[in-house]
Amino acid sequence: MQATRILAIRHGETAWNAEARIQGHQDIALNATGQWQAQRLAQALAAEPIRAIYASDLQRAYRTAQAVAEATGAPLHAEPGLRERGFGTFEGRTFAEVAAAWPEQARRWRERDPHYAPAGGESLHTLRLRVTEAVHRLAARHAGELIVLVAHGGTLDVLYRAATGQDLQAPRTWQLANAAINRLLWTPQGLALVGWADTQHLEGAARDESVG
């Protein structure tokens, strides 16, 4: 079976990204920088032979994916399995606010306890199961083809760990930049890393005044 090539992309920036607020399943829009990043991403991928685009149904990811779909003509599909980790009661708060309000829970979160879930949210273990199931299901449809997955920082973190064999509790030493291009290969045996955190398309270009 031929490998499926995957371009895995985090959505463009939002106001909550800029404020370091926890988004989770909150449906936050792209800010002006995020809209610009989505357009630059779309230009960078315009000539790629993309067979299909799958995006989290949260608008910050879906709107980023729409820009790519418009530039490439590839069909776009919403996929809830690619959503960010649900953070329950933490959502809308900054990391400092969480640490002040729930110091013990913040410790378990900081230490990456794989079975800890904020009230109303998901554990890392649950997130990994959800994301890997979705990606394997989608990639299996496209053997020998190129697909784009537009998702979130937590989603991309799961994919990097899966591709490099790193445990859920291993400290993160890799970037999860907004609108970066990350390249993976999928086979029925799993994921392999090809390239990570390519942001060349976001560098060395003047911002369009129309997006602020």
Q: How far apart are CA 131 and CA 85, in angstroms?
A: 9
Q: Which domain holds residue 15?
A: 4-207
Which domain CATH number covers 15?
A: 3.40.50.1240
What's the domain count of the chain? 1
Residue 15 assigned ligand-binding role: yes
What are 69-124's pLDDT values in tens digits?
A: 999 999 999 999 999 999 999 999 999 999 999 999 999 999 999 999 999 999 99
When pLDDT is averaged across residues 179-207 and rounded to a whole number, the result is 91
Please name the residue ranges forming H helices in the chain. Answer: 15-18, 32-45, 59-72, 95-101, 103-110, 124-140, 153-164
Predicted local distance difference test score (pLDDT) of residue 210: 32
Residue 84 annotated as catalytic: yes
Does residue 212 sit within a domain? Answer: no
Q: How far apart are CA 19 and CA 98, in angstroms?
A: 14
Residue 165 assigned ligand-binding role: no
Residue 11 annotated as catalytic: yes
Residue 12 assigned ligand-binding role: yes
Does residue 59 sit within a domain? Answer: yes
Residue 8 assigned ligand-binding role: no
Does residue 40 sit within a domain? Answer: yes
Q: Which of 25, 79, 84, 142 is catalytic?
A: 84
Closest CA to 67 of 145, 175, 179: 179
User: At 110, phi and psi to the nearest 5?
Assistant: -60, -35
- Cβ-Cβ contacts under 8 Å for 110 (sequence gap 6 or more): none
pLDDT at 207 over 50: no
What are 120-175's pLDDT values in tens digits?
A: 999 999 999 999 999 999 999 999 999 999 999 999 999 999 999 999 999 999 99
Q: Does the pTM exceed 0.85?
A: yes
Q: How far apart are CA 161 and CA 143, in angstroms?
A: 22
